[in-house]
């Protein structure tokens, strides 16, 4: 199945705009669930305001949040897909630039030293493009705009293996308390466990941007998700850090094997505006989704 780079460019452009304007259905259901179970009056009012903001933004085709974030593209390449890697990379970058200029969107991407903004949402190493593979005959592109409010709340700890799972739980709870309302909760708390330091951080990001209702493939990880979700929502941080039961939609965990003498643990958070959009290229055409 041959993929036209021009079509990839157009899809990359469209995905950025869609992700900024349409909240995925699982996140809307997450809001409804928290709103139904919240016992604090102030927190319930804050959740109501957030839900109204989502509805008004979508009805008026406005952005869900002014922060257009760091644009992240996740690409899954299936069997029989024909496109040069450099063409795929360059097409995604062009689409990202076009979305920023043509829509237009606020560019939040700057040089890390000079702070110069090219107003393209692109720069050295940005957008990051992560590539994976599958057995199906399709090409899938997922776009995630990751805002700074959530991304600034990222941590890595090289835990001592002998301290066990309690060290992991304590670290996650401490991170949530330190973040407080800075992540615009309710959040999705992404936890990476194992691997190397860089892999562990990547796992935490993957966990934070996973759809609500999904579980860690590892049974120990899934059990830890449930335990941590209950613990985090018992902290009283609440929506926007103003108190209440609804600190997080969920805690998500992703794991990797690691070295016998180390146990990396990473936390990466996603804000309440957990935006993402995806497109699947098949022989039948392009289908958009979340």
- CATH of residue 103's domain is 3.30.1330
Is there a single domain that holds both residue 266 and residue 278?
no
| pLDDT value of position 85 | 96
Is there a single domain that holds both residue 260 and residue 154?
yes
How far apart, in whole angstroms, are the C-alpha atoms of residue 224 and residue 218?
10
Reported as a single tens digit per residue, the pLDDT across 108-135 is 999 999 999 999 999 999 999 999 999 9
Look up the domain containing 186 and give its range: 149-270
Is there a single domain that holds both residue 159 and residue 122?
no
Q: Please indicate, yes or no, if residue 55 is contained in any of the structural domains.
A: no
Q: Please indicate, yes or no, if residue 117 is contained in any of the structural domains.
A: yes
- Residue 229: how many other CB atoms lie within 10 Å: 18
Q: Please indicate, yes or no, if residue 162 is contained in any of the structural domains.
A: yes
Reported as a single tens digit per residue, the pLDDT across 57-87 is 999 999 999 999 999 999 999 999 999 999 9
Q: Please indicate, yes or no, if residue 75 is contained in any of the structural domains.
A: yes
List of the chain residues with pLDDT < 50: none
The half-sphere exposure of 55 on its side-chain side, counting CA atoms within 13 A, is 9
123 touches 110 (CB < 8 A) = yes
The contacts of residue 219 (CB under 8 Å, 6+ apart) are: none
Is there a single domain that holds both residue 15 and residue 126?
yes
| pLDDT value of position 181 | 96
Q: Is the pTM of this model over 0.85?
A: yes
């Amino acid at each position: 199945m041959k993929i036209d780079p021009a079509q990839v460019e157009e899809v990359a452009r469209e995905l950025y705009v869609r992700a900024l304007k349409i909240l995925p259905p699982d996140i809307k259901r997450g809001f409804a669930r928290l709103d139904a179970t919240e016992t604090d009056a102030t927190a319930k009012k804050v959740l109501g305001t957030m839900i109204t903001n989502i509805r008004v933004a979508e009805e008026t085709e406005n952005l869900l949040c002014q922060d257009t974030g760091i644009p992240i593209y996740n690409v899954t390449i299936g069997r029989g897909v024909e496109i040069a890697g450099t063409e795929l990379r360059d097409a995604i970058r062009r689409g990202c630039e076009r979305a920023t200029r043509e829509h237009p969107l606020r560019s939040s991407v700057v040089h890390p030293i000079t702070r110069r903004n090219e107003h393209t949402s692109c720069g050295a190493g940005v957008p990051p493009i992560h590539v994976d593979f599958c057995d199906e005959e399709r090409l899938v592109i997922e776009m995630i705009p990751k805002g700074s409010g959530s991304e600034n709340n990222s941590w890595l700890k090289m835990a001592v293996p002998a301290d066990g799972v309690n060290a992991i739980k304590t670290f996650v709870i401490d991170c949530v308390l330190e973040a407080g309302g800075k992540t615009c909760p309710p959040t999705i708390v992404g936890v990476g466990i194992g691997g190397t330091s860089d892999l562990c951080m990547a796992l935490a990001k993957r966990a934070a941007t996973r759809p609500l209702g999904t579980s860690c493939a590892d049974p120990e990880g899934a059990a830890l998700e449930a335990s941590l979700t209950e613990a985090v929502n018992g902290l009283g941080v609440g929506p926007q850090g103003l108190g209440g039961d609804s600190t997080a939609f969920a805690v998500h965990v992703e794991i990797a094997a690691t070295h016998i003498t180390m146990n990396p643990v990473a936390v990466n958070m996603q804000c309440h505006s957990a935006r993402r959009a995806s497109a699947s290229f098949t022989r039948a055409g392009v289908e958009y989704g979340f």
